[in-house]
Structure 1
Amino acid sequence: MATDKPRYTVSVDTDMFKQIEDFRFERRFQTRSEATAELIRLGLEALKKEQEEQKKAQKNKSSQKDIE
C-alpha cells in the first residue's frame, strides 16, 4: 500500500512495544502504525496543553506581583 506520507522507523524496548500493542488492540486500530501515530498525536496534544498551562501560570504569577 503506497502512501505519500513521510515515513520513518523507530525502535522501542520490549515493554513499550507491549504497551503500544495493548493500546492498539484496546482501541481496535487496524495497524501498529495507526496506533503509534495516535499515541504521538495524544502526546503532542498533552505537551501543548502543559505548555499553555505553564504560560498561563507564569502570567498569573506576574499579575500577582503587579498587585502586590
Structure 2
Amino acid sequence: MNFGDSKVKIFIYANDHPPPHCHVIINKVETRVILPTLEILSGPKLTKEALDLLLEKLDDLCDTFDHYNPKKHLE
C-alpha cells in the first residue's frame, strides 16, 4: 500500500516482520521507519518533507500495518 506522493513514496508490505514499520523511498533510496515512533530502523535520515508526510499519515500507516500484519507487533 502506497501512502506517498510523487517525491516521497511510503509503503507498507503484507506479511512483513516486526517491529511495525514502513518503507520510505526518496530518489530510489530506502529508509525503514518504526511506527508510531518514527525512529529510523535502517537507511539515511529523512527529509523534512518526508517527516511531515509521515506525521500527516501516521494513524493510517499504523492501522494499515496492523491490518496487513496482524499480531506482528507482538512477536
TM-score range, shorter chain: under 0.3
Higher strand proportion: 2
TM-score (norm: length of structure 1): 0.25
* Larger relative contact order (Cα-Cα within 8 Å, sequence gap ≥ 6): 2
